[in-house]
C-alpha cells in the first residue's frame, strides 16, 4: 500500500511539474527551429518493460527508489509553427547510476533493479509532458545523456539525445553531432527542485517538423 501511495504521489508531482511549464497563450505563434536529431545508439530496449510509465526512478512493486540524483524533466512538444502538439508520444531511455542499460541484450554488469530504465508518456491538451528520472551519468567515454524518441500523427518522428548543459562534448567514436552550436541546442539546464529535497529539475521544449501536406 505504501509503495502504491508513493507512486501515486510521484505521478501527481509529474502532473504538477507539467502544469508549471505552461506558457501564456500568444496571439501569433512564432516560427521555431526543429530540434536536431541525434543517434539512437545500440541500447534501445529489446523488450519494453511491463512498468513503462513516466516515473523511471521507481519500479512498481519495489519499495526502494533508484540510485542517483532524482531529476524532474518537463516541457512542451511544439511544431515549427509554434503550436502545441497534443497527444505526442515521448519515449525516454537511459543507463542507470551504474552506467548500465536495462531491457537490452548483451549489456553485462551490475544493474540497479530499482531503476526502470525506460518510460513513455503523451502530451496533454497544452502539449506538455513530464518525466521523473535520475540525472544522467557518463559511461564508456560518453558524456551523460538521455535518449528520446518522439512521434505524432501530424509531425515527422524524431530520435535524439539530450545532455546536461556544458556536458555534450563527445569523447566517444561514432556517436553524436558535430558542431558546438548544434550540440548546444540539445542541452538542458538543471536547478535544485522546489518540490523535492536533494533533487534536480529541468525544462526542455522539443520542436517537430510537420508532415508534408
For residues 190 and 196, the answer to whether their CB atoms sit within 8 Å is no
Q: Does residue 98 fall inside a structural domain?
A: yes
pTM: 0.84
Tens digits of per-residue pLDDT, 88-140?
Answer: 999 999 999 999 999 998 777 899 999 999 999 999 999 999 999 999 999 98
Who's near 148: CB < 8 A, 6+ residues apart?
A: 90, 91, 92, 158, 159, 160, 161, 162, 206
Q: Does residue 129 fall inside a structural domain?
A: yes
Q: Does residue 52 fall inside a structural domain?
A: yes
Tens digits of per-residue pLDDT, 25-82?
Answer: 444 567 999 999 999 989 999 999 999 999 999 999 999 999 999 999 999 999 999 9
> What CATH number has the domain bearing residue 140?
2.60.130.10
Q: Does residue 124 fall inside a structural domain?
A: yes
Q: What is the pLDDT, as a whole number, of residue 173?
A: 41
Boundaries of domain holding 109: 2-22+29-208
Q: Does residue 213 fall inside a structural domain?
A: no
Q: Does residue 115 fall inside a structural domain?
A: yes
- The total number of structural domains in the chain stands at 1
Amino acid at each position: 500500500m505504501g509503495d502504491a501511495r508513493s507512486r501515486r504521489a510521484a505521478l501527481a508531482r509529474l502532473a504538477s511539474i507539467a502544469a508549471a511549464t505552461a506558457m501564456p497563450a500568444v496571439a501569433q505563434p512564432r516560427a521555431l527551429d526543429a530540434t536536431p536529431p541525434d543517434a539512437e545508439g545500440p541500447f534501445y530496449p529489446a523488450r519494453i518493460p511491463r512498468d513503462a510509465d513516466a516515473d523511471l526512478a521507481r519500479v512498481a512493486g519495489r519499495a526502494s527508489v533508484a540510485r542517483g540524483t532524482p531529476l524532474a524533466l518537463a516541457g512542451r512538444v511544439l511544431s515549427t509553427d509554434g503550436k502545441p502538439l497534443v497527444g505526442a508520444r515521448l519515449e525516454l531511455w537511459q543507463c542507470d547510476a551504474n552506467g548500465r542499460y536495462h531491457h537490452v541484450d548483451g549489456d553485462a554488469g551490475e544493474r540497479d533493479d530499482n531503476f526502470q530504465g525506460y518510460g513513455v508518456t503523451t502530451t496533454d491538451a497544452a502539449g506538455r509532458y513530464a518525466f521523473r528520472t535520475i540525472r544522467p551519468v557518463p559511461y564508456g567515454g560518453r558524456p551523460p545523456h538521455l535518449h528520446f524518441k518522439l512521434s505524432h500523427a501530424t509531425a515527422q518522428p524524431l530520435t535524439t539525445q539530450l545532455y546536461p548543459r556544458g556536458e555534450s562534448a563527445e569523447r566517444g567514436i561514432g556517436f553524436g553531432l558535430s558542431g558546438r552550436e548544434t550540440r548546444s541546442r540539445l542541452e538542458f539546464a538543471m536547478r535544485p527542485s522546489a518540490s523535492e529535497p536533494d533533487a534536480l529539475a529541468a525544462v526542455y521544449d522539443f520542436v517537430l517538423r510537420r508532415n508534408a501536406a
